[in-house]
Structure formats: structure tokens, C-alpha cells
Amino acid sequence: MSELQFDSEIIHKINEFKEISKEEILELAESAPKEILFDTASRIRDKQKGRTVSFSKKAFFNIINLCRDTCSYCTYKAEPADTKLSLMGKETIKELAILAKKYNCTEALFVTGERPEQKYSEAKKWLKDEGFSSTSEYLIHCSEMVLNEGIFPHTNAGNLTKSEMKELQKTNVSMGMMLENSSPRLREAGMPHHDAPSKDPNARLNILKNSGELKIPMTTGILVGIGENIEECIQSILDIKELYDKYGNIQEIILQNFHPKPKTSMFQQSTPEEDYFKTVVALCRIIIPDANIQIPPNLSPENYHEFLSVGINDWGGISPITSDYVNPEFSWPNIQNVEKKCNNSGFSFKARFPVYPEFISLVNDDLKQRISLIADEENYVKESYWK
């Protein structure tokens, strides 16, 4: 169907917040004039979220970057002999937590590879020397440690079991796990998740379901441009929506644009076209109108306005002290510059905790109290505190 034949009845339905079918969403993606699609998404964001964009001031704790799996786009994962190998001992974690607090970060982003101890004897031995039998046991301990230094852990450690999540929930104000994409096709031979059993869509969706049953404020999202098609992106967003509606715990959806990395088998593949990525962002806003939708600001440093104009309302974590170890070639922007760019595009800019305000009611009383103590500090509301 050409753009001229596009049935604008769908836009009327969207404007009236009526349910639209997957076929209609697909038609919207393929046939709607882009300016109408983007403008619709932007207006929905304005209506649902206003014109304020948030971010979380964080420190990235690269706890263990060995990984049992292999995704063909990943350069985060290290091998034991690599210079980039990271095994963060307790003392180093404590020191970084103290530094993060000094810089007024509120988030300790804990990242690990997928159950490294299952593949690497080095990881198993290192954990044992630290006094732990698994990565998750170590994360539980370190979460308590950083919380006691006054910053809030947000763990992103892949496919955790429900009981591991339940333990982490005591200290983590929120947790994260990217769905990436719910298409099983991406696990076929030659596709990016072929050697990554943890990226099995059913396993990932089950973890999100477990987080819903445990009422953990949860961050998830999709990685765009890894060989999927628009229909698979739409289905992934619809799968997230189903859990979002059922459990009410998905606090944010990250839409991350793929970038090819040297020394990976996807090095020759290009980044997704900006129009395609913007279409995915706009569709996400249309499919889940009141969701918090984030794109990482370091992966699209030149065109914030483009993404603000298709419906995002969050920039995610920005760190003044550590790299983005998943995308180390993209440095974090200066926070004042992000604010300036937001203001220039007609948006205000504000700091948030790693749990969004509307999801704080889900965390336990101890965490609520710790959050309110910091939120009440006069300094927190002062702009200088988080810049």
C-alpha cells in the first residue's frame, strides 16, 4: 500500500486511545506518512508524560564480564586472557560506591555476563576466593554493600531465577533485562542469538513474568537493527505490552539502536536507518501510550531532537565517572549539555532515581525510607546536586 492509500481511520482510533490490532500497527508502520506517525507519537507523549525528560545519574559497575553465551554483536563479553577482563573485588566495588556517592550518583548499575561460572573455571575460582559459589550470590552481597554506601543498586545480570530475583529485590530498587527481540528466528543458525541460549525469547519473557509476579520495578527493551524486521519489532513490543498490562511492574522500555563493533561477526552490518529506528520508537509510544520510553543518549549523540520528537521521555542512566562498558566507544554526554539540548527542543530535564517515581510504591519499606531520606535532602532538589 502506498502512503497515499493509508487509511487514516487508524490515526483516529489512536487519538481516541482505542485498541488497534497488530495488522493495523503494521499498516501504520509500512504505509502511514512518517510525519503523521511521528507527530502522533509525539502528541501521545505530550499527553501522557508532558514535556519533561528524565535521566538517572549512575555509576556502571562492570562486575564480571565473562559470559557463558555468545551474541554476535557483543563486545562486552571478555575472555580470561583479555586486557578488558573485569572481576571487581569487594574493595573495588566499595571504593567505586564511595566515589559515586561523592558525585551524587543515585544508581549503581550492576552488570555481569550470563552465569560466567558455568563456563569458566577462572570465574568459579575467583568467586570462591571471594567467598561465594555463584555470580548471583556475589551480586546479592555487593548490592547490600553499595546500598549501605547510600547508592541504589539496579542489577542487570541476564537470566536470573525467580528465587535469585527475590533475594536481590530486598536491596535493588529496580532490575533490568533486555528482551532484545521476541522472535525465535534470531536464534537460528547465522543469526545473532544462535550461540546464546539465554536469549531464548520464551526464557526472557518468563523472567519478565517472574519479575511481574514478584512486583519488581523492571526495565526491559529491544535491540533494534540486529537482523529483525519491523513485524518482529512490533511483536516484541506487543509481548512487552501484554506483561506491562498484566503485572504493572515494567517501569521503562529501552529502545537501543545496534552499532557494529570491531572483532564481532556483525562488524560488516550497518546501524539501523534513522527512519526505521524512529518508526520503532514512535510505534512503541503508540502501542504503550503511558510507558516510560528511553533511548540511550550516548548512542545517538547528534540527534536528541529527532528522538524527542517521536515520543521518548527518558535518557536512562548517564555516568559522570565510569564508561558504558557495553558500548565503550560511545562516551556519556555531559549532563549540562543534555539539559541544554532538551531545553532547546522545548523540554525540561530532571533527575530521577533508578526506580521511577510512579513505581516507588512497589519497593519494600526499607528502600522506600532510604529513597525518601535522599529525596528529602535539600541538596537533592538543588540542581547542582545532580549535575
115 binds ligand SF4, rule: CB under 6 A: no
Partnered with residue 257 across adjacent β-strands are 224
Q: For residue 74, state whether it binds ligand SF4 (rule: CB under 6 A).
A: yes
Closest CA to 226 of 275, 262, 285, 183: 183
168 and 42 Cβ atoms separated by less than 8 Å: no
Q: Which stretch binds ligand SF4 (CB under 6 A): 46-54, 68-76, 245-253, 315-323?
A: 68-76
CB of 200 to ligand SF4, least distance (A): 11
| Sole binder of ligand SF4 in the list 6, 38, 55, 76 (CB under 6 A) | 76
Site for ligand SF4, residues 336 to 375, rule: CB under 6 A: none
Applying CB under 6 A, among 58, 77, 115, 370 the residue interacting with ligand SF4 is 77
Q: Which of 363, 369, 384, 385 is nearest to 170 (CA)?
A: 363
* Binding range to ligand SF4, per CB under 6 A, among 55-63, 70-78, 363-371, 377-385: 70-78
Q: Which stretch binds ligand SF4 (CB under 6 A): 67-75, 141-149, 181-189, 311-319?
A: 67-75
Q: What nine digits make up the cell of 305?
A: 531532537
Examine residue 67 and tell whether it contacts ligand SF4 (CB under 6 A): yes
Residue 113 contacts ligand SF4 per CB under 6 A = yes
Note every long-range contact of 303-309, with CB atoms under 8 Å and residues 24 or more positions apart, other chains counting: 303/274, 304/338, 304/341, 304/342, 304/345, 305/341, 305/344, 305/345, 306/274, 306/278, 307/278, 307/281, 308/42, 308/53, 308/342, 308/345, 308/347, 309/38, 309/42, 309/345
CB of 6 to ligand SF4, least distance (A): 37
Number of residues located near ligand SF4, criterion CB under 6 A: 12
Burial of 187 (0-12, 13-18, 19+ CB in 10 A): middle
Residue among 122 and 149 whose Cβ is closer to ligand SF4: 122
Q: Is 179 in the site for ligand SF4 (CB under 6 A)?
A: no
SS3 at position 371: helix
Q: Is 173 in the site for ligand SF4 (CB under 6 A)?
A: no
Please identify which residue in 104, 181, 183, 198 interacts with ligand SF4, judged by CB under 6 A: 198
Contact 102, 151 (CB under 8 A): no
- Say whether residue 114 binds ligand SF4 (CB under 6 A): yes
Contact 193, 71 (CB under 8 A): yes
**Which CB, 24 or 122, lies closer to ligand SF4?**
122
Of positions 25, 41, 71, 282, contacts ligand SF4 by CB under 6 A: 71
In whole angstroms, the minimum distance from the beta carbon of 76 to ligand SF4 comes to: 5
How many other β-carbons are positioned within 10 Å of the β-carbon of residue 82? Answer: 11
List residues binding ligand SF4 (CB under 6 A): 67, 69-71, 74, 76-77, 113-114, 158, 196, 198
